[in-house]
Structure 1
Amino acid sequence: MEGKGTFSDTDIVRYGEISKIQEIEFDKKSQFSYKEVLLPITQTLFFFTENEVKEPEVDEKSILIFLRSCDIHSLKRIDNIYLNNKFEDPYYKKLREKAKFVLIGCEKSFKSCFCVSMETNKTDEYNAYIKQNGEEVYLDIKDEEFENIFKALSNETLNVTPDFVEDNEIEVSIPDNLDLKVMKSTMWDEYSERCIACGRCNFVCPTCTCFTMQDIFYKDNGKVGERRRVWASCHVDGYTDMAGGHSFRKDKGQRMRFKVLHKVHDYKKRWGHHMCVGCGRCDDICPQYISFSNCINKLEKAMDEVTKND
């Protein structure tokens, strides 16, 4: 998307439907994640009338998604939330089962990435790996369906190994003694002043999955309409509003605290690995230049602060 970046002379790389391989940006990191393919920004769950409820028909066509290693790791995080929790989400499952994933390697680290620190820089969980070299394209295929397709196109066999980065310019360190006492640290006060609650960091993040519900009533018949699931953000005003005018985390620093601890503490306690995959998109997109990686690196001093105060 030309001219739609942070500045008027910068572009945005984001996911979209393609018809040929030349449309893929192999040498640039997308500012937005792939998640809107499996978790649409606005998704109709069902239509309703006075007498019945009907789910929308789902296109049976398969989905092929090209991802980097960090995003493939993020897929596991989303699966945990929507498929491996107390119940399976049928709307997510329908789209997830149609999808196959092609890995795009990273010959070098991109700006703001810290995937090595988060141990998401490498993966072998892909249906195929693709590498472009000039006018040639190399594939490492793990999927039987793909094998049958490409055997008909070429009989040439090569040893193709994915490109993975071994180090990033940015490194993060999550303290081993991190616990919820860090909520009392003064480090969060900084974000009360800087954050403008736009929610961009949540919307570009490949592991943020919060949503809200909307009931849409049609003008020609107020008793007929549809229920939609719509992306939401824990940073945006009104996210924690409750009946009676009550609201949690009105302070923007408290919202930053909630997000950070969910990414590098709470989720790991539940699933055994961190929610953040180190893609760095939140750092890239923030209009206030708030760095999530810097925030993580402040946690050690914050723990020292609250421990001393105890």
Structure 2
Amino acid sequence: MTRLAFLILAGFAALSTLACGGDVFVEGCDDIEQPPARDSGWFQVSQVPPGAQVQSGIWGYFNLREFEHCVVLEREGSCRLEYCNPRWLEEERCNGERWSAGESVDVGELTLTGGLADLTATYDAPTGQYSALVSAPVFEPGDLLRLGVSGNARVPAVSVMLEGPPMAVISEPLELHELERGDPIKLNWSSGPGSGTVFAYVVNRPESRQHDNVIDSGSATESVICEADVSAGSLVMPANLLARLTPDTAMRALLIVDVANGDTVTIEGWHLGFSARSWAADPEGGRYSVEFTVR
């Protein structure tokens, strides 16, 4: 899994005491409530800057009886602190039962039309996912994109229309070696015409450990996620939320940004998410990311 993919799929273990950044928020079996399972899926078209070392394209997954493995610990304005851990889906809960990660299923073909390239993805059984990647742009800002699921006996056919979002070029911060407790992060960007929501993510790995010369990332992630309209040109990630991140982890925290438009559809018991996403660029045209140590 890439460092980008863990923002979509993240997680934790079933413990009688569950902590994030030293702040215990669940204590004892009586306080652990099993969330409802639901049939769910996600279909995303992603575009990267021209100088990025990864590809643009479409990606998706569809699972029967999937349990949520993330919790929101705190909100402040348009920002939230979120904790995720996939081990919740693997280990026994207090009642001796297991929360299932869900059964991956084939739902036919995923198709993208209306942009610069028409793409089709089919189900890959070994990974349980869909993907079709290209080394070229897949949409222009403002393109009306159709994301379609062909459907089969398991899931009905469904499609949504989303506007291709513009790309944000980040001007601040371009470097951030350390984040002192009590400091916010101020983010500035420019973008071309078009609509979308900027999402800024600071992702920390509280379980990361170094063994000899190898860093084990662990499965848990704690993230501060903020949103703003792309036309705003700036946002501030609040110090209160950033101060709850675990300090001095073996793996440095990561700041990345994207601009997205999305929609959700509930149909015949399925909860489906769709998004068109443009990852932010640095001034040189590469994919924007900043690594730093939380103090």
Q: Same fold (TM over 0.5)?
A: no
TM-score under structure 1 normalisation?
0.25
**Structure number with higher strand proportion:** 2
TM-score under structure 2 normalisation?
0.26
